[in-house]
Amino acid sequence: MKILHVIPSVDPKYGGPIEGVTQLSVVCRDLGVEVEICSLDAPDAACVRNSQALIHALGPAVGSYWYSRSLVPWLKMHSHEYDAVIVNGLWQYVGFAVWRVLAKSSTPYFVFPHGMLGPWFKHTYPLKHFKKWFYWSWAEYRVLRDARKVIFTCDSERLLARESFWLYKVNEAVSGFGVANPPANGEELAARFLAGYPHLRGKRIILFLGRIHEVKGCDLLIEAFAKISHHDEQLHLLIAGPDQIGWAAKLKAQAESSGLAHRITWPGMLQADMKWGAIYATEVFCLPSHHENFGIVVAEALACGKPVLISNKVNIWREIEADGAGLVEDDTLAGTVTNFERWLAMSQAEFQTMTARTATCFASRFHVQRAAERLLEIIRESK
């Protein structure tokens, strides 16, 4: 079997989809499946040059829609070489281009929405949602309608997607998602990370790792930290990730006004060993997100044995709560504060029990091997 993933960009700064595609691809190759990626990055982009995957880079694309005049001709020439084409994400040109070429062809295509049908955006940005209606009715609706399957990473995502647009007709499937085993040399990686940030040695680190974006609840995180920081002078907040919308300046001003700027560290985007080192060096991972389709980094934290403090808008919260691998509250200031207070009130024995449960939760629910096997099953069943 040969699969083509189509995605706007393979640059990791755009969040979880490309990380998920990369990890799925590695396991699929181990299972004897050829996997290639088509992106709209410039061929000489660093993210293309540094990737271990076979990437057909057809950019640079134009605008936030990621339009490329090269994509449709390339698909017409090469799509017959693949047993399945998988579109990753919505609201960008890649989906419409795949639909134009493959809707009536013998090559089946599938769509991973990656949470882009979540209702949070509908309620938070009603004007943008209204504008999307015009695009939805003549383009995105057809992309989803004619896909062999629209694949959701968890059942919560599948159910929430039905709330976004009333003109909604898709062939649903749930594949799961996940990550591979993390590096085993956790102590070494943590030491290497702390060598780069020596002021964090001996601190009880609370880690946020992800895009600096309103949807992630970073403002709630800072305000909640200000309310609980008096519990222990060693508590320290680490907010790591790319700032795509220029929000970090406002958040840093918020931290200054709270008088806690010296207890919050902003290392920017962390990758490879530095990312893993940060996770291993932390005590808990925190994500008070207003909308989170799956949460690749949540699974990574669990894989490293770190309990997670998350909101009930992270779509895998039910599984984590059921396994006792973390704490879950509302995506509000009160909920975020409560998560912190519940964690800080734990006895050492209680926290060690929760820590032990993270590995079981990861292995049984969020390992990428299971997700890859299920994805291939969906493709084979759809032939």
Q: How far apart are CA 320 and CA 361, in angstroms?
A: 7
Which string of DSSP letters, residue by residue, matches 30-98? HTT-EEEEEE-S-TT-HHHHT-SS-EEE----BTTTTB-TTHHHHHHHHGGG-SEEEEE-SSSHHHHHH
Instruction: Give the number of residues written for the chain.
Output: 383
Q: Say if CB 279 and CB 285 are below 8 A apart.
A: yes
Q: Which domains does the chain have, with CATH numbers?
A: 2-179+368-381 (3.40.50.2000), 186-366 (3.40.50.2000)
Instruction: Name the H helices within the chain.
Output: 16-30, 46-49, 71-78, 93-102, 119-124, 126-135, 141-145, 155-161, 186-196, 218-228, 248-257, 272-281, 296-303, 317-323, 333-344, 348-361, 368-381
Q: How far apart are CA 364 and CA 299, in angstroms?
A: 11
Q: What is the phi/psi pair of residue 4, to 5°?
A: -115, 120
Q: How far apart are CA 284 and CA 225, in angstroms?
A: 13
Q: Which residue has the tokens 């795949």?
A: 98
Per-residue pLDDT of the chain (383 residues; tens, 9 = 90+): 999 999 999 998 887 788 889 888 999 999 999 999 999 999 999 999 988 889 999 999 999 889 999 999 999 999 999 999 999 999 899 999 999 999 989 999 999 998 788 776 666 666 666 677 677 777 888 999 999 999 998 888 888 888 877 778 899 999 888 889 999 999 999 999 999 999 999 999 999 999 999 999 999 999 999 999 999 999 999 999 999 789 999 999 999 999 999 999 999 999 999 999 999 999 999 999 998 888 889 999 999 999 999 999 999 999 999 999 999 999 999 999 999 999 999 999 999 999 999 999 999 999 999 899 999 999 999 87
Q: How far apart are CA 151 and CA 31, in angstroms?
A: 20
